[in-house]
A and B are shown apart, each in its own frame.
Chain A
Amino acid sequence: AQSVTQLDSQVPVFEEAPVELRCNYSSSVSVYLFWYVQYPNQGLQLLLKYLSGSTLVKGINGFEAEFNKSQTSFHLRKPSVHISDTAEYFCAALMNTGFQKLVFGTGTRLLVSP
């Protein structure tokens, strides 16, 4: 069975500091990986995705993630965060076994303070 684990439920950080949000997945099949951001009372917006190719993926708003197959990880990073990055971040894996099904982690709340 496929699962996605986000160990950190909340990550507090000061403005302009770097941040890493961790994501690990378990799957016996090839996976496609995604990071979504959710602002309060809004839907999910895609930050970045890994389908194939380069393991370092760049997304919107200065975020990037690195796919590490040996460690089954897909951690999200940003070198310098802004107050406006305060939001919930979800890692998701797409299982492709005849049809698509997105499996989500439980989310990490990023709290950026001045």
Chain B
Amino acid sequence: NAGVMQNPRHLVRRRGQEARLRCSPMKGHSHVYWYRQLPEEGLKFMVYLQKENIIDESGMPKERFSAEFPKEGPSILRIQQVVRGDSAAYFCASFPDGAYEQYFGPGTRLTVT
């Protein structure tokens, strides 16, 4: 069983461009979380998704950020009109129904120049 996959691993964008981060959960996992890690900080919750539903997006900035987890395909975190402050590592985690342990992907490191 492959682990949680994230791509790209590294992404460089100029200010004003769009960033799309993909997360493929482990097989059988229908719950996905996205976290952001700023340098020298812990991980901060952004959004919790189940298939085709956003359960909690209280950690997402109100503007420019959106997330989806379609019926087919990976979960996508989309950042429009990126700014330098968006530079961070973005991790997704998945887990199956009834479980408490979250499995993390390797992360996408976004650099905004």
Contacts and interface: CB of A to CB of B under 8 A. Distances in A.
A73 interface: no
What is the interface of chain B mostly: helix, strand, loop, or mixed?
strand
B41 interface: yes
25 contacts: A34-B101, A36-B104, A42-B106, A42-B107, A43-B4, A43-B104, A43-B105, A43-B107, A44-B43, A45-B104, A94-B100, A99-B48, A99-B56, A100-B31, A100-B48, A101-B48, A101-B56, A102-B43, A102-B45, A102-B93, A103-B45, A104-B35, A104-B42, A104-B43, A107-B42
Contacts, number: 53
B100 A32 contact: yes
Nearest to A34: B101
What is the interface of chain A mostly: helix, strand, loop, or mixed?
strand
Interface of A: 32, 34, 36, 41-46, 49, 51, 90, 94, 99-107
Interface in B74-113: 91, 93, 95, 100-107, 109
B33 interface: yes
Contacts of B109: 41
A103 B44 CA distance: 7
Chain B interface category by residue count: 20 to 34
Interface in B1-57: 4, 6, 31, 33, 35, 41-45, 48, 55-56
